[in-house]
Amino acid sequence: MFNFIELILTKPSQNLVLKIYHNLFKTQTSMKFIEKLLINPSELSKKTAKSARKKFFLLKAVYDLDKASVNDLMKRLALSFPTLNNLMVELVDKKYLTQHERGESLGGRKPNLYQLSDKLFKVLTVELNRKSARISLVDNNSNIIIDSNYYPFELSTDLRELPAFLMLIRKFLKDHKLLMEQISGLSISMPGLVDRYTGENFTYFYEPGFNLEKHLTREFNINTKIINDAKVATLAEQFYGKLKFKKDALVIRLDWGISLGIISNGSIYYGKNGFSGEMGHISFADDGELCYCGKRGCLETLVSGNALVNKATKDIDLGIPTLIVSKYENKQLTPDHIIQSALDGDQYAIQLISELGSKLGRAIAHFMQVFNPETIVLSGSFARTSMLMITPIQQQIQTYSMSKIASGCSLQVSTLGDNGQAFALARHFVNCYFEDRLGMN
């Protein structure tokens, strides 16, 4: 797929550049809002192309810094003050950048701070879990444009179930009277082996030769990005939560499944394809239960919301007394039913979660030995039960991790709330947008 920066680098003839550029505007809805304002196709030249590239780099730098002063941007972009100032004046004038409150100063006048304008990007965010979907409309500055809608939805490995997912997105658009033309892009988080570069999910909605990200881009005629849910949880903590300014950290996301996000030297570690952090599919029990991945004894069969639901269902069938029964009655049992019962003081539910914490603690101790993190953050729905899990987790860490490693690591609980994932999904989309335009992928 061509982008404008590729046209600059390949240096085709002026007529060919103009022809390709106009074709891109006709066929690529992802190039419909920022590009039209930054570049006038009728005035396309090497000079305007170079200027556009500088503007993209400038906008990306401002977004990376969240709020940036001129001095911050001069250091990052290696631009002279006159050049940078001219670009800033134009971008402020065109409403791409806004000036905010003055920043801190070591003496003298406080510097002006700049930020991307609100609603420059409007991103439709979709958080897919095993049993539900959450859809929101969020802008580039973490403003909720349309509040989240929750939908019951059974995530499937079968590609034939994909149309049901597409219907959820269309329902959200219809219910809120939204047109795709009003949206900058679609950003989706989901469990499974998601290729960071191609957008393929090799676990859900999969069959050989099928690319989920490209399919959704064609289906909705809008730029679409798909990312693993643990990576989004890590991005959320890194920019909005407990891991600001942290260099080496782990995020353990515990919901229906369990997964791991890794920050190494200040950056999210993806691995070769983006498959890093498949914590749930490391073997922890010889001759254990068969996991859906096809292996036996995976950690996820012992430590996950799914494992707790399976155990509770069997115990309830055997007649164990518990308040959990009153929480779900004839509906399908979920981890939230167990969590709420534990928070309401049900002894059986408390015991279930305490035992889960003990097993999780042993796994955490192993990962501490490998990664030597400064901070570990517990996220996901089970973060609500942290007061029941922290003690057994710490006991296992003390038992199975070297004291020098354990003492240098802080165990934290996520405080982001319901919108953290949506904010991170919007950030992921905007990051990918600039990287694609600047040929950084």
Same-domain check for residues 109 and 192: no
pLDDT tens for residues 49-72? Answer: 777 888 889 999 999 998 899 989
Same-domain check for residues 407 and 288: yes
Same-domain check for residues 400 and 271: yes
- What local confidence, expressed as pLDDT, does residue 263 receive? 96
Distance CA 266, CA 3 (A): 29
**Is position 437 within any domain?**
no
Residue 418's pLDDT band (boundaries 50, 70, 90)? confident
**Is position 138 within any domain?**
yes
Residue 141 amino acid letter: N
- What local confidence, expressed as pLDDT, does residue 32 receive? 52
- What local confidence, expressed as pLDDT, does residue 332 receive? 85
Same-domain check for residues 256 and 319: yes
pLDDT tops 50 at residue 24:
no
**Domain-terminating residue out of 59, 83, 117:** 117
Same-domain check for residues 360 and 253: yes
Same-domain check for residues 284 and 378: yes
Q: What percent of the chain has pLDDT over 90?
A: 67
**Is position 436 within any domain?**
no
Least trusted range by pLDDT, from 91-95, 136-140, 305-309, 326-330: 326-330
Residue 31's pLDDT band (boundaries 50, 70, 90)? very low
Same-domain check for residues 113 and 126: no
**Of 54 and 172, the one with more pLDDT:** 172
Distance CA 291, CA 273 (A): 23
Domains in the chain: how many in total?
Answer: 3
Q: Are 275 and 260 in contact (CB under 8 A)?
A: no
pLDDT tops 60 at residue 41:
no
- What local confidence, expressed as pLDDT, does residue 107 receive? 53
**Is position 439 within any domain?**
no
Same-domain check for residues 251 and 394: yes
Same-domain check for residues 252 and 215: no
**Domain-terminating residue out of 64, 87, 117:** 117
Least trusted range by pLDDT, from 83-97, 107-121, 303-317: 107-121
Q: Which domain holds residue 366?
A: 242-415
- What local confidence, expressed as pLDDT, does residue 292 receive? 82
**Is position 255 within any domain?**
yes
**Is position 441 within any domain?**
no
- What local confidence, expressed as pLDDT, does residue 285 receive? 81
333-341 LR contacts (CB < 8 Å, sep 24+): 333/309, 334/131, 334/305, 334/309, 335/255, 335/256, 335/305, 335/306, 335/308, 335/309, 335/381, 335/382, 336/381, 338/305, 338/308, 338/309, 338/312, 339/381, 339/382, 339/384, 339/385
Domain CATH code at residue 74: 1.10.10.10
Same-domain check for residues 294 and 426: no
Same-domain check for residues 271 and 320: yes
Residue 412's pLDDT band (boundaries 50, 70, 90)? very high
pTM, rounded to two decimals: 0.86
**Is position 237 within any domain?**
no
Q: What percent of the chain has pLDDT over 70?
A: 86
Same-domain check for residues 406 and 258: yes
Domain CATH code at residue 154: 3.30.420.40
**Is position 440 within any domain?**
no
Least trusted range by pLDDT, from 18-22, 202-206, 222-226, 264-268: 18-22
pLDDT tens for residues 330-381? Answer: 678 999 999 999 999 999 999 999 999 999 999 999 999 999 999 999 999 9
